[in-house]
Amino acid sequence: MALAQVTPLPRLAVGAARLVLIGRPPALSGMLQLANAGADKIKLKSASLRLKDSQWGDPHVALRLDVSARVAGGTAVQVPVTLTVDPRMPPGDYRAEVRFDGHDDKPREAVLKVLEHRAVAVTPETFELYGAAGATVVMPVVISNLGNVPFVLPKVALVALGEDAAVTQLFHVAMARKGAEGHQAALDAYAQLVAASEVDAAKAVIGAGAGAAVAPGESRETTLAFELPARLSRHRSYHGTFSIGKVQCGVELEVADAPAPAPTRPTTARK
């Protein structure tokens, strides 16, 4: 009686070179060498990765290494792989091992090269202000560190202000005044009008925590004191921007009347 022929199971071989994953948290990526020594196609969706003697993360908890590879029988390929880590993972090199359960029982050496990531969030990103020229308007703000290195809060930021639609509106004013005299006269008038509409930069002074470091993953509740320029036109609207870290924040300013002077007591003549 003839014995039934047994089809060999697919065999997956992993390249001898260690797997290197590089990137800014939370996403690291690399290239993996795979070879299929069998006859049938192999589908590999993921592998398990564990950190070794690391001060960051639990070495007993496996991380998912996304592979999503299809390797035809008798072929070798290089496939991209990705790993998601904690966004706060500090920069540096981390040793790890990778296991391809069900395909290759031998653990493979890996190294994680985590790059520095500087990122912050500012809430809100746009500030609507209402105040008189020369006044100080205080607004609440929350600044969050989304990166993996400490972020030092600045003490002050400059807010470049410009009058809303001044560039287009003043062009029509200049043309109405000097357009009949030729383009040079109109351009000179336009330049003078635009220059007159410009104002000094406002200051956004950070309150509690200014100059201090915010740790990765933490937020700081503080205030922004907007010191408005003294030369602002009443009942006009201005817009501007300023930066905290890499975040560009917007400012919308409506200028109020100057505050009324404090009443004075009448003086009485001395006898």
At 195 the pLDDT is: 58
Place of tokens 């070798």: 76
Place of tokens 């589908």: 43
The pLDDT confidence band at residue 6, using thresholds 50, 70 and 90, is very low
Quick check: 187 pLDDT over 80? no
- Of 51-60, 79-88, 90-99, the poorest mean pLDDT is in 51-60
Question: Would you list the domain boundaries of the chain?
Answer: 12-114, 120-255
- Of 67-71, 134-138, 251-255, the poorest mean pLDDT is in 67-71
At 248 the pLDDT is: 96
Q: What is the reported pTM?
A: 0.76
CA distances from 239 to 125, 233, 255, 259 (A): 13, 13, 11, 22
Mean pLDDT of 237-262: 86
> Do 12-114 and 120-255 come out as alike in CATH topology?
yes
> Looking at the chain, which runs of residues are DSSP E strands?
12-14, 19-23, 27-36, 42-51, 63-71, 76-84, 92-100, 104-114, 120-123, 126-131, 136-145, 151-152, 156-163, 202-206, 213-214, 219-227, 237-244, 247-255
Tell me if 203 sits within 8 A of 156, measured CB to CB: yes
The CATH homologous superfamily of the domain defined by 120-255: Immunoglobulins (2.60.40.10)
Tell me if 228 sits within 8 A of 136, measured CB to CB: yes
Closest-CA residue to 35 (of 17, 12, 9): 12
At 168 the pLDDT is: 61
Residues 30 and 48: their CA atoms lie apart, in Å, by: 15
Assign a CATH topology to domain 12-114. Immunoglobulin-like (2.60.40)
The pLDDT confidence band at residue 176, using thresholds 50, 70 and 90, is confident
The pLDDT confidence band at residue 251, using thresholds 50, 70 and 90, is very high
At 155 the pLDDT is: 97
Higher pLDDT, residue 225 or 198: 225
Mean pLDDT of 132-149: 97
Residues 99 and 104: their CA atoms lie apart, in Å, by: 7
Mean pLDDT of 133-162: 96
Summary count for the chain: helices (H), strands (E): 2, 18
Closest-CA residue to 75 (of 113, 107, 39, 128): 39
Q: What six digits make up the tokens of 30?
A: 């690399």
The pLDDT confidence band at residue 4, using thresholds 50, 70 and 90, is very low
Mean pLDDT of 103-131: 92
Mean pLDDT of 216-231: 96
Closest-CA residue to 233 (of 196, 181, 265, 267): 196
Tell me if 149 sits within 8 A of 117, measured CB to CB: yes
At 9 the pLDDT is: 42
